[in-house]
Copies of this chain bind each other. A is one copy, B any other.
């Protein structure tokens, strides 16, 4: 009753952004804690996911989709290659570009991470009923993918990550 749809949120002080930031911080902390095998913690997990499921054609595309500078991507991938999680392959169609593929070990590590992250998320959302969690995920996804017609770097990210 305190938040009827018609209420204009007077004095709410943008709790939306706060909740978002707090949740992401917690999520990131938990993913970090679960990412012993990965360099760069949460970002490494995001990178590996993008490599495996993103189907990005080049290192530059990978960097753009994650919002990372290309020079940063270089040494980030160096670390991943050193760990044997990822390989750089020359693109035969464009010999300047490198196609990033996950090794078998990289795929295993990602699968393990996915499981741990899923568990961590369930724990993170312990305050919500199961149906509410599903709803929250759906709303978040829709909000993240359909953020309007104008400039929208996020949609590319999410779409790049999505299987299709």
Contact = CB atoms under 8 A, between A and B. Distances in A.
Contact of A118 (B14, B31, B135, B143): B14
Q: How large is the interface on A (under 10, 10 to 19, 20 to 34, 35 or more residues)?
A: 35 or more
Nearest to A150: B123
Count of this chain's copies in the oligomeric assembly: 2
Contacts of A15: 137, 140-141, 158, 161-162
B123 A158 contact: no
Task: Name the prevailing secondary structure of the A interface residues.
Answer: helix
Contacts of A144: 18-19, 22-23, 26
Contact of A46 (B21, B148, B155): B21
Interface stretch (A76-84, A89-97, A124-132): A124-132
B158 A19 contact: yes
Contact of A154 (B22, B67, B118): B22
Given A157-B22, A158-B15, A132 B139 contact: yes
A21 B24 contact: yes
Interface of A: 2-3, 5, 9, 11, 13-28, 31, 42, 46, 49, 53, 67, 114, 117-118, 121, 123-128, 130-132, 134-148, 152-155, 157-158, 161-164
Given A14-B121, A17-B28, A26-B147, 9 more contacts: A3-B137, A9-B118, A13-B114, A16-B137, A22-B154, A22-B158, A26-B144, A124-B143, A136-B139
